[in-house]
Amino acid sequence: MTEEFELLTLDPQPALAIRGVVPNDQLAMSMDGWLPAVFRFVTGNGVELAGPPFSRYHRIGEQETDLETGLPVAAPHPGDGRIQPVELPGGEAASVWHVGPYDRLPETHAALAEWVADQGRTPAGPVWEVYWTDPGQEPDPAKWRTQVLLPLR
């Protein structure tokens, strides 16, 4: 894990995503199914991508998690069926980089939350992860780079 905390100012970002409540032991499997579905929809409908995939965690519970997984797009699109338009929020956000396997991301989330509290700041919405490394192209999990973002009040 690499901790490079910083404050960023983000522009609102339209995206297309699938959202659902998933048992915690099925998170990876759900994301592995949802992301290709969103990608097929985007490419099949001529929608222009605007960045790497993300997952946003609306609620993380002891047994299940409410999350959405999707792709940022260049312009808002109405989606279709379970693939819905969403917007990643603009404004000030705390950011940290995680380098390593995804199963260590909860530690990075906790470190970011602690850093935000130490700065005297308050979260303004759900945390999300941006997956900058494609595991299909980089098989070594020790090299995967994920940005964790938390909007702030």
Q: What is the pLDDT along the chain (153 residues), one digit of tens a residue?
A: 556 899 999 999 999 999 999 999 999 899 999 999 999 999 999 999 999 999 999 999 999 999 999 999 999 999 999 999 999 999 999 999 999 999 999 999 999 999 999 999 999 999 999 999 999 899 999 999 999 999 999
- What would the 3-class secondary structure string for the chain be? CCCCCEEEEECCEEEEEEEEEEEHHHHHHHHHHHHHHHHHHHHHCCCCECCCCEEEEEEECCCEEEEEEEEEECCCCCCECCEEEEEECCEEEEEEEEECCHHHHHHHHHHHHHHHHHCCCCECCCEEEEECCCCCCCCCHHHCEEEEEEEEC
Domain membership of residue 76 (yes or no) is yes
| Structural domains of the chain, count | 1
CATH, residue 139: 3.20.80.10
Domain membership of residue 1 (yes or no) is no
125: containing domain: 6-151
Domain membership of residue 112 (yes or no) is yes
Domain membership of residue 142 (yes or no) is yes
